[in-house]
Structure 1
Amino acid sequence: MRDTRLEAEGAEFLVLAHLLIEGMEAHKAYTTYPGYDVIALNPSKKRQCRIQVKSRYLTGDRVFGIRNFDCDFVVFAKLNRATPRGASPTGGVRPPELYVLPIDVVHKAKTEAKAMNAYRVRLAKIENADSFLNDWSLIKRFLDMDPS
């Protein structure tokens, strides 16, 4: 199995970059914060948003695992870097896709993953999943910021 730790770190920085580009103050949490990877802030309103980043390396992957729900949002980063061995190369490398999912949406879509002592979340179980694609306004509203 391929080691994708660098790509996972890259996904966290990708989310951080998008938050900053959208005008939100944000910081990477590094390893001492088990429930989240990135924190977004609205200092003037004393609001914070804890964001867990879940990334998948393979192109077209629509499932992620989760153990810890101690966050406000999960951003599912479909990195789309490669096709599985033996698969048709037509999917190939594509731009990453970032799904901004409120934690209550993740809870509703979770199913138990027996082998991992965790849960599995499939985009197919999320109603209107594509509406969450790059919807950073959800985090802005959570932080009590103007979503425009």
Structure 2
Amino acid sequence: MSRLDTRLESEGAEFLVLGQLLIHRIPAYKTYTNMPGYDLVATNPERNVAVRIQVKSRWGTGAKDFPIQNFDCEFVVAVFLNRGSKDGKKEVADPDYYVLPVSIVSALPRTANWKKVSMRNVVDLDQYREAWHLISDFLNTSGKAAGEAAALASS
């Protein structure tokens, strides 16, 4: 089976995350295409603090892993789009969002060839499902300390 071109869906995932940030009252914007290390920036203008967010998306329903090589951000938002399967056997469902401090993702084991991490290796994964508050907490407290506290809480 040929490889599926998911560039449009990947770009859409970035906009989905941007929309989620905005409806959760987190000011954010999309960076220029192919900015190394991050795709979105969330800000707290009153505190003059910003957080870089890398969006990783997977097209297929039931996907649980994604490739990542660059950790030059504070958060990774994994978006599982759940668009079915190429063979049509899996159903389309709503997207799943996981808001992960980069320290959690960078500590996960990665495959040798594609540098994939598996969400199965994240301890207490459900605590990160739609955890937009981690980003707002980061922006509203001392920034880096909030991200480290979130990482310690999951250990």
Q: Is TM > 0.5 for Structure 1 vs Structure 2? A: yes
Matched residue SS, 1:95: coil
Matched residue SS, 2:8: helix
Deviation at 1:48, TM superposition (A): 0.4
Across the two proteins, how many residue pairs are aligned to each other? 139
Runs of 4+ residues over 6 Å off in structure 1: none
Q: Which amino acid aligns with 2:138?
A: F
How is 1:53-72 mapped onto 2 (pairs within 5 angstroms)?
53-72=55-74
Deviation at 1:84, TM superposition (A): 4.7
Matched residue SS, 2:107: helix
Unaligned segments of structure 2, at least 5 residues: 142-155
Matched residue SS, 2:140: coil
Q: Match of 1:123?
A: 119
Q: Deviations over 1:29-57 (max 9, x none)?
A: 12252110000000100110100000000
The whole-number CA distance in structure 2 between the counterparts of 1:24 and 1:32 is 23
Q: Which amino acid aligns with 2:118?
A: R
Alignment counterpart, residue 78 of structure 1, candidates 77, 80, 102:
80
Identity percentage of aligned residues: 45
**RMSD, aligned CA:** 1.4
**TM-score calculated relative to the size of structure 2:** 0.85
Write 1 or 2 for the structure with the bigger share of strand. 1
**TM-score calculated relative to the size of structure 1:** 0.89
Q: Match of 1:105?
A: 104
